[in-house]
Structure 1
Amino acid sequence: MADASDGPDVAPVTEADIERVFRAEYGRAVAVLVRLVGDIDLAEEAVQEAFATAVERWPTAGLPPSPAGWIITAARRKAIDRQRREASRDGRQAEALLLYATGDRPGDEPVEEGPVHDDRLRLIFTCCHPALAESAQVALTLRLLGGLTSAEIARAFLVGEPTMAQRIVRAKGKIRDARIPYRVPADADLPDRLRPVLAVVYLIFNEGYLSAGPDEGPQREELCAEAIRLGRLLAELMPDEPEVLGLLALMLLIQARRPARFTPDGALILLADQDRTRWDRDLVAEGRALVRRCLRRGAPGPYQIQAAINAVHSDAATASATDWRQIVQLYDQQLELAPSPVVALHRAVALAEVEGPAEALAQIEHLDLDGYYLWHALRADLLRRLDRRAEAALAYRAALTRTQNPAERAQLERGLRSVTTRPD
């Protein structure tokens, strides 16, 4: 490679530039390498070594025309070198012939890799195979597709780094030992196999969104960004799956409210009290457009319905202008498709605006959700609105014992004070 001084001026490349490429392209590069070498650990090591080489070269050589192609080609060579060192002579030659089939030769500069349409999709389904525990699915998805380190994932999920690292190692070992195939399921199996993939992505998003208060640190917000990026990837790779579009729309519409969720001093602002002019209008518009695409398909599913509910919220300039009857109807539809006491609980929030707090309270009293803080929190709010202050206080206290989230606790404590402090 010619030195930068021998040619035209090269735009400076900073560590931040390389970090952006890493976040955007790490998952793609690992996915391609897994297909080529059939080994997740080897693929990861090769991609990491390729990025280490980029850190050395790019600041002087400049950013290549296709950074992703450069990384993938460099990583492929490093994997070949590793396999040649570790394999027998015959095996080494066979692997080299296979991996050099694209025209690569030792000594050449990395060439550009063409567009990859399905390698990442295969890797997502591998990470979310039902043989793996849900916690392992989440960790492995963030590690391989998001490029997060074990330390970053551990901080986000409030566990120790050794615990998270071991979880990831065990998940990789399970894939290897059980010979979990690196492929997208057959069409007949796709609906059932897609469900855990979407659930993992949404779990990652919720972990970031529900916990990302002003004092929670950037790792929580980064989880939301990673989930949305994975959602966009799924929508790109599976554009004909309406539930994929529905999940992406749902995350975008919820994420749009982030700027209005907290006061300057960190207090949580409930949806009904948020300044909707602070919502991200671009995210709202994108989410609503996806909801319209889903509606045109006429194949409703739980994520699409949740997205539609959030789209109705975005229609109104204020909470009082919200079409609560339409939201109740959408929850009714969701209960038909996927009955759940949590869905019934959320339906009661809308029902209280249509039929009043007494009817909503009657609807939730029979729900088996005693361990769920939100059930107690909603009971407390409905009892407060009915001026049943002593019962409301008990419900607020019960909710407080069931959440450790600082923002949620502060909100509940304000509610408790409102029913235990007599006005002057």
Structure 2
Amino acid sequence: MRVLHTSDWHLGRLFHGAPLLSEQECALARVVAIAGDADVDAVVVAGDLYDRAIPPADAVDLLAEALRELRGLGVPVVAITGNHDSPNRVGALDPLLRAGGVTLRGRLDVDAPVVVPATDGGSDLVIHPVPYQEPLAAPLVERTGERARRPTQHEVLARALDATRAEVAGRGDVRSVVVAHAFVAGAAPSDSERELSVGGVDRVPTSAFDGFTYAALGHLHRPQEVGPRAAYSGSLLPYSFSETARASVRVVELAPDGSVEAEVVELGCERTVATLEGRLDSLLADPAHRAAEQAWVRVRLHDEVLPRHAMERLRDRFPHTLVLEHVRPATASTAADPRRRSTPVTDLDLAHAFVAERFGRPVDATEDTLLRAAFDAVTAAGREDELRVAATVATADRGHDEHGQHDDGSSARDGAVA
């Protein structure tokens, strides 16, 4: 029997401010086409249907249309919520939709798997949707003599999987697929996944999925296997500049003898991503970057000073440039730091140190001449100001003596009063 495994659609997501809905629509159309061409017996979506708990209306419409088209193939569709989804909003209609062959599971219901009758003479296929297990929503862990604490991600998922395994074991000879959303230890993450815990302490071992014929996983956006019977299909599109692998789905063959084989099928709808580094003039002229002209581009400029209108100039060649970073040159050696000298430090010394730190090299002769001229001009202007102030004060003093002071220091008004 064949199962199409996809995950991490993130409908409604923006890529550094750029809308992705049209690309997501194209990718979902490809998912439907691949499922039809492969003549699959079921489609599973391993979480993160939306990019946020309250998705935009057009993302909701797109999900509804995709599920309608997948169900139009005449096969069951089984989807779970991920850590980006709202289990209540996504799963609210699950009991109603289930009767029509679509499962949108937001809460764990071990006693309600999706059973697909065998079409190849082997045992039936049982699909268990295990939505993302939120530790904050789970009961506290209480132990004798210890203070109650929050369970870990591993603990809440392990509890759900243990119950699921028991349900499968009670069915006897079946082929089982568990659909889950988790971070499996040893798998390679990308920049766009949201951490499930601080420090990665809640990563789940591969052994947590032992006992199932196949584990269809979601959360990590890189397509990858994490064991002979567990894999991530990868995201619908690249959602960060670290996601350079082509977006794909997995068509998984579950043979009557229990063996598992998978084919990775690329979707081909995404705009690729590229990170370019170097000086602006070089990037604009280098023919080696021709492939990036149609990609989402992040640029890291290594010019000493950020060139004027850098983004506009980049977009003339790379119209889909989204991120511009100015990478500062390597910091000058601390041996040249004037603060470490025992001799007096002048303003010119500090200016030299600032330029060296900013550009990552010592001040050259031209810059030294300009800095000296600037400090000389400031010093000369300061002296002129001092002379001007002194002259003003002296003039004021003379005027005061001429109009109100006697030789003995008493004023004319004092004498009149006397």
The alignment's TM-score, normalised by the length of structure 1, stands at: 0.23
**Which structure is larger by alpha-carbon Rg, 1 or 2?**
2
Query: Taking CA–CA contacts closer than 8 Å with sequence separation of 6 or more, which of the two structures ends up with the larger relative contact order?
Result: 2
Bigger share in strand = 2
- When you count helix as a share of all residues, which structure comes out higher? 1
